[in-house]
Amino acid sequence: MVEVSDGTKVPAVTDTKPSRTGGARTRQLEAAPMSTFTIDTSTSRATPSPVPGKRTTAPSIRARKLREGNDFRTEQPIVMLTAYTMRMAQLLDPHCDMLLVGDSLGQVIYGLPSTIPVTIEMMCAHGAAVVRGSWHALVGVDMPFGSYEASPAQGFESAARIMKETGCAAVKLEGGEAMAPTIDLLTNRGIPVIGHVGLTPQAVNVLGGYGARGREEREAEKIIADAKAVADAGAFCIVVEGVMEGLACDIAAQVAPPVIGIGASAACDGQVLVTDDMLGMFERTPRFVKRYDDLAARISEAARAYADEVRSRSFPTGDQTYRPK
């Protein structure tokens, strides 16, 4: 065992590359204390952050929202983005408190028409990749449609499988009052839960589309009741998606766990976006997305330049070919 920067003891990892003098060089490396998986940097492009730190935990996210009398206050908003791959996780990790392996990967990665066909196998494969690519952020993985709604017991089985196979620290599930017993069971059996209310894309066939929710008084009241039920059941934070701004403010003011908004309000305790939307990978995005880049155009331009050079035989040049010295 070796002691790492925060004082925790972790298993020693031995690097046995041959030394210049011939014998095996034995060096003790610090293993990541909170990661189920480590990255073999000698065989992959992966480059872990130089000082593996302790991951952000569910209780530390929950504690970011403080009660002051009858009010709540979150000093520094919580930053969350989606990630589905190891490399994207590496790039986002230093900037985010939480990385969400969202079931939006169904549309973004697999070209599916909705999140409904997403499987637990897809979530586990991408969840494990994101855990491998991150050191600091809490990684939460979405429970896909059909993996938890039948009963709390089904929810526990699926969530436990996701946690074992990915090494993630939390799961997210959609739904309000109806899901409270499941959230209660999971949180009392060692599984931190991120709630998700308002526009819940897995329920698109019941909702009739992806339009903003809570325009009508009755629906707004139901969404507030959902958020309160999810909070009371033990969710450590709650995603509120696609609701009227005033409703998002009311929810953030009334529930104790941090509210992470998407298409909600700047008054929420944090924000999340689908990274590919935010990077400008798609021409069409929901109204609530702000594009911080135009990667689709930049990728097309790079591919066009490559294609031109291949066709004109100007790639590869001497710099990219092996020649006798």
Exactly one of 193, 244, 272, 281 binds ligand KIV (CB under 6 A); that residue is 272
Burial of 7 (0-12, 13-18, 19+ CB in 10 A): exposed
Catalytic sites, residue numbers: 241
**Shortest Å, Cβ 105 to ligand KIV:** 7
Structure tokens at 233: 């059941």
**What Å distances lie between residue 81 and 28, 212, 266, 320, CA to CA?**
34, 20, 16, 36
The stretch near ligand KIV (CB under 6 A) out of 6-14, 44-52, 102-110, 155-163 is 102-110
Q: DSSP labels for 142-174?
A: EPPTTSSSS-HHHHHHHHHHHHHHH--SEEE--
Using DSSP's 3-state secondary structure scheme, residue 245 falls into helix
Tokens standing for 52?
Answer: 């593996």
Rounded Cα–Cα distance for residues 234 and 65 (Å):
14
Q: Which is nearer to ligand KIV, 224 or 262 (CB)?
A: 262
Report the residue number, 10 or 112, with the smaller CB distance to ligand KIV: 112
Output the smallest distance, CB 167 to ligand KIV, in A: 19
Which residue of 138, 169, 197, 274 would you call a contact of ligand KIV, by CB under 6 A? 274
Pick the closer one to ligand KIV by CB: 97 or 241. 241
Residues 36-95 interacting with ligand KIV (rule: CB under 6 A): 82
- Is the bond leading into 316 cis (omega within 30 degrees of zero)? yes
Please report whether residue 264 would count as binding ligand KIV according to CB under 6 A: no
User: Is residue 103 close enough to count as binding ligand KIV by CB under 6 A?
Assistant: yes
Q: Which residues bind ligand KIV (CB under 6 A)?
A: 82, 100, 102-104, 142, 239, 241, 262, 272, 274
